[in-house]
């Protein structure tokens, strides 16, 4: 193994592996176009292709995590970044006041259709509760 390969492996270990057949991994990698509103080394945020509210942004980790069911305590810094980005996006989209919703669906009965952890940021209208 060359020195370069060694450093790639270390970088992958730090950032986490991506899955080439995962839609959201491919959006994060820039392989599939999306309307991206934020990206950094850990997190990407892009507009949902089928918005359920005037503002509907998906906030995802670059690392492939199937759902919130997979999260561990060691993911704390990543989640801090993810929720911080969500707050920044809410402010920049102008929905922080009077309020908005963050939700993550898990599994079939939770309504999850893409198996890559994502937080929906929904705002721009009054949202009902409980959800259907
Ligand atoms: P969920 O059903 O909670 O897994 O959410 C998946 C979300 O991804 C849905 O709201 C879809 O509209 C959205 N979605 C699916 N494909 C794309 C895409 N290519 N770009 C942006 N959003 C997408």
Give residue 35's domain range: 3-123
Q: Which atom of ligand 1 is nearest to the CA of 110?
A: 3
Q: What is the pLDDT along the chain (132 residues), one digit of tens a residue?
A: 333 333 344 444 444 556 779 999 999 999 999 999 999 999 999 999 999 999 999 999 999 999 999 999 999 999 999 999 999 999 999 999 999 999 999 999 999 999 999 999 999 999 999 998
How much is the pLDDT for 4? Answer: 38
In a domain, 103, yes or no: yes
The SS3 of residue 83 is helix
Is 116 tagged catalytic?
no
Q: Is 122 in the pocket of ligand 1 (CB under 6 A)?
A: no
How much is the pLDDT for 17? Answer: 57
In a domain, 71, yes or no: yes
**CATH code of the domain in which 103 resides:** 3.30.428.10
In a domain, 130, yes or no: no
- Tokens (6 digits) for 34: 């999306």
In a domain, 128, yes or no: no
In a domain, 132, yes or no: no
Q: Is 114 in the pocket of ligand 1 (CB under 6 A)?
A: yes
Residue 33's nearest CA partner among 23, 43, 41, 42 is: 23
Edge-first strand listing for the sheet containing 36-39: 36-39, 43-47, 55-61, 119-123, 100-103
The total number of structural domains that make up the chain: 1
- Tokens (6 digits) for 85: 């980005």
In a domain, 31, yes or no: yes
Distance between CA atoms of 81 and 1, rounded to whole angstroms? 33
The answer to whether 45 touches 36, Cβ cutoff 8 Å, is yes
């Amino acid at each position: 193994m060359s020195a370069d390969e060694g450093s790639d492996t270390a970088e992958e270990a730090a950032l986490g592996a991506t899955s080439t057949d995962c839609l959201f991994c491919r959006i994060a990698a820039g392989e599939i176009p999306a309307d991206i509103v934020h990206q950094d080394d850990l997190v990407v945020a892009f507009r949902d292709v089928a918005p359920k509210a005037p503002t509907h942004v998906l906030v995802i980790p670059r690392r492939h995590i199937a759902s919130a069911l997979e999260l561990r305590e060691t993911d704390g810094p990543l989640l801090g970044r993810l929720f911080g980005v969500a707050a920044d996006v809410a402010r920049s989209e102008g929905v922080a006041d009077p309020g908005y919703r963050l939700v993550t669906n898990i599994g079939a009965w939770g309504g999850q259709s893409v198996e890559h952890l994502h937080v929906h940021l929904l705002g721009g209208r009054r949202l009902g509760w409980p959800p259907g």
